[in-house]
Amino acid sequence: MSAGESARSHPEQATATSAAESTLFLRKATGLVRSWSVFDAFIYAFFSINLVTLGLYIISQMWFFEGGLIPALIISGVIILAECVVYAGLIAVMPRAGGDYVWQSRILGGGVGFVLAITGWWFILWLWTPIYADMLRQIFFVPLLGVIGAKDAALWFAWDPTAYFIVCVLTVVFVAAVIALGMKTYARVQKFCFWIGNAGLLVVCLFLLFGSNAGFKAGLEANASQMFGAAPGVYDATIKAGQTAGAITPLFGGSLVSIFLLMPYLTFFNLWPNWGATLYGEVKGADDFKKNFWGMALALIVTTLLAVVFFLLVDKTISWDFLNNANAAYWSYRWGFSTDAPPLNVWPYPAMLAMFLTTNPILQFVVMLAMSMWFFGWAGTVFLSSTRVIFAAAFDRLLPEAAAQINPRTRTPIWALGLMVVPGLIVSALFAYNVPLFGNPFQSITLASTLVIAVTFLGSTISAIILPYTKKDLYDASPIAKYKIAGVPLISVAGVIFAAFLLFLLYEWLLDPNALYGIGWSINEKGIKNTTSIIFMLVMYGLALGIYLGMRAYRKRHDGIDLGMIYKEIPVE
Amino acid sequence: MTNIHDDITDEARRIVEAGQAQGITLRLLGGLAVRLRSPSATHRALARAYPDIDFATPARRSHMVETLLTGLGYEPNKSFNLLNGDSRLLFYDQGHRRQIDVFVGAFEMCHRVPVAERLDSDALTIPLAELLLTKLQIVHMNEKDVRDICALLLDHPFGEADRETINLPRITRICAEDWGLWKTVTLSLHKVQDFRDAYDLEAAAKLTIIERLSELRTALEHAPKSLKWKMRAAIGERVQWYDLPEEVRRG
């Protein structure tokens, strides 16, 4: 290609191609190529609303609803697009490591910002540690051990609390290692997992597409018996056990209200396209609103479509009815609502069920291994985003300086990781052994993991709504100032929509008027008043407030620093 | 009170020597390195200001750089270094309003140039071949970059080795592995050629620059290319082949 052709095909390069056209740039001296591309941020967002881990896990617990799953997936996805607008806007205005903490502390004030961000991005991730580990054992250890013929080991991992706790330890070791590799290597790891995991999912979908229900029944009988020692007649027995447990959730249909009532569960899966928000100080072009928005929105749209297609294929071959009954049989036993062990005596992992359509163990093993990449590419999200919030709080001197230090040789944020890992393992032990702390079994607080983060998001959403009015100069100088709807800033409009959604979720979780969620103080006489959940959350907020007040007083007395002044400045990049 | 020299070249030497004394390899790159290697950089037509000092250091001992430079009176950008320290470190000299940039392991801007592989070739700067490449890899070249390239080409012929010649096989080898870098370097050569008349250089000097630009262009054109290069070349300009570095705001 000649220089002239080059110039025509790529105008940006025209400067270099002919004397007549050449110009020089006013480039400043220092530049930085940030660690992550927009595509890396997309993969992070895509994995953060992870269909195979979060999605299949939480949907398996939703067997007792009257609203249709697929309309709930679509409607919630549309509403959560407003969250993408809110976060893409906040990132474009202040692309800083620490995300929610920086925005809230600078817009709402230091105390509110610290308490909400620290609880939502740090403390509550302790509870997510055993939840991540539960998914690891269900999609990795159990099916793979089953496929290779280690039936007893598979069942040990499936049911034994000590095995569960060991998986928790393995999870934090893996997560710490992958974070210690640094952002560039992390991006490479998640990219590898993204392609392999999706290839695995494609194979699973092809099996579902070309398989038949009769073939599945036969495969289930053969494989469930061989891998896990299930008794003959497992298909019919599972349907019966599920019906006894009260499995009713349809794939379609239901009133709008009943569809909305699925969302406090479903958001455990799809509320997180913004999960990379705290990392955007390290993403290329983070002040580009459109790129930020599409990075998150595409992850949400693609995942939602993928979920719809996947469950339609499940319905075609496995049948939604069977899967929903299997879910009900499994969870009603695990939660202690039933004393009858499920006929299919492991978690009904849909990808594994799809691979029951073959009896080729090598194929089953390879596909299950590929599917486990959905976990390994995603696992780092449990702590990675949180480390940036801890760093940002430490730079503001709200935490000891050590919290923002790294091991000079390995470049591992040892203290920040320690602050995640050690309490995470304590909570993991409580969760794995399902300790009945303060009156309720510990595993009953699973959804609190979503509630606390939703409160944090509400704080950032309120920040976004008032940003154009309280930080007018900052907003006017930002790339989002031009986006308005009927003269009202787009970020404020989207903020109001998303805030309304979050308030609905919080009302349902906390007051639980239909006795569905079991993590709040239900106003329904049949509902649960979950003291364990309430106390756990109050302790976290109390701890965060205590740290804030304590550090503020300490800095004033010992260092003569008024932390209130720090919040008047936007942190440096 | 610090011992930072007012003269930036003296200060650059002081840092390199202090690093050497502590077993830390730091080698200059950027405009100051050109100034120290090319007398023509002080020619009235090519002279320019040097606000920053840029270094390259190997990744394995980069953790000692922060201690060294802090000890020499520099203020680290803590948050930047924490998040980017595996590839870049930033320090400030508030008194002289200077900035120190340390590239760790490799030089990554519009393209990646493996500058840390041969830091022992010269006692003060990265080798001339890599130094020239760090300038030619710039997509949005500014006037200072063109002056630096002209100074390097004016004072140093191409050769097979380093020291006072620009190692041509090294440049062609690096570019033959990376089509994007090859592409940008090729475009940059055109750009320098276009601008050489803008500077008040003697005719002989301009001729030298043109001849050396041509020599490099020919060598790049004819060097055997890797499979990776050929595969990327097949995609061509349809996909952006460079990164655009973003400014780091000091707040």
Calculate Rg over the CA atoms of chain A: 25
Helix (H) or strand (E) holding B88: strand B88-93
- φ/ψ of B158, rounded to 5, equals -80, 150
Chain B interface residues (partner A, CB cutoff 8 A)? 51-52, 63-64, 66, 77-80, 82-88, 90, 99, 101, 108-109, 138-143, 146, 187-188, 190-191, 194-195, 236-237, 243-251
Binary contact (A13, B101; C-beta < 8 A): no
Give CA–CA dist A130/A331, Å, rounded.
17
Query: Chain B residue with minimal CA distance to A181?
Result: B86
Instruction: Report DSSP state, residue A502.
Output: H
For chain A, 573 residues long, the average pLDDT of each consecutive 10-residue run is 35 37 54 82 96 98 97 98 97 89 94 95 96 98 97 98 98 92 89 98 98 97 96 97 97 97 98 91 82 95 98 98 98 94 97 96 98 97 91 91 82 86 96 92 95 97 97 93 96 98 98 96 95 96 96 91 81 68
* Whole-angstrom distance, CA of residue A48 vs CA of residue A275: 6
**Cα separations in angstroms, A259 against A70, A172, A508:** 9, 36, 13
Residue A140 CB neighbour total at 10 angstroms: 22
Burial class of residue A347 in the structure, from the number of CB atoms within 10 Å of its CB (0-12 exposed, 13-18 middle, 19+ buried): buried
The answer to whether the CB atoms of B79 and A570 lie below 8 A apart is: no
For residue B33 the two structure tokens come to 């390195």
- Tell me if A13 and B139 make a contact (CB, 8 A cut-off): yes
Q: Minimal CA–CA distance to A268: which of A498, A528, A517, A90?
A: A517
CB A179 within 8 A of CB A383: yes
Task: Check A27 against B140: CB less than 8 A apart.
Answer: yes
Complete DSSP assignment for A342-382: PSS-S---HHHHHHTT---HHHHHHHHHHHHHHHHTTGGGG
User: Per-residue pLDDT tens for B68-100?
Assistant: 999 999 999 888 888 888 889 999 998 988 999
Contact of A443 with A434, CB cutoff 8 Å: yes
Contacts of A390 in chain B (CB under 8 A): none
Task: Specify the 3-state DSSP secondary structure of A509.
Answer: helix
Mean pLDDT, chain B, whole residue set: 91
Angstroms from A202 CA to nearest CA on chain B: 27
Nearest Cα neighbor of A348 from A228, A444, A432, A457 is A228
Long-range contacts (CB closer than 8 Å, 24 or more residues apart) made by A306-311: A306/A51, A306/A201, A307/A51, A307/A55, A307/A73, A308/A70, A308/A73, A308/A74, A309/A205, A310/A51, A310/A201, A310/A205, A310/A208, A310/A350, A311/A69, A311/A70, A311/A251
How much is the average pLDDT of B35-60? Answer: 89
Angle of the A320-334 helix axis to the A234-245 helix axis, nearest 10: 60
Asked if A29 is an interface residue toward chain B (Cβ–Cβ < 8 A), one would say yes
Pick among B111, B147, B187 to test the A interface (most A CBs inside 10 A): B187
In terms of Cα–Cα distance, which of A107, A50, A480, A431 is closest to A288?
A480
- pTM of structure: 0.87
Q: Which residues of A touch B99 (CB under 8 A)?
A: 29-30
Which pLDDT belongs to residue A5? 34
Q: Is B44 exposed, middle or buried (0-12, 13-18, 19+ CB in 10 A)?
A: exposed
pLDDT, tens digit (0-9, with 9 covering 90-100), for B112-133: 999 988 999 899 999 999 999 9
pLDDT for B13 beyond 80: yes
Q: Supply the Cα-derived Rg of chain B in whole angstroms.
A: 18
pLDDT of residue A25: 57
pLDDT reported for residue A218:
97
CA distance A416 to A389: 9
Interchain pair A97, B79: CB under 8 A = yes
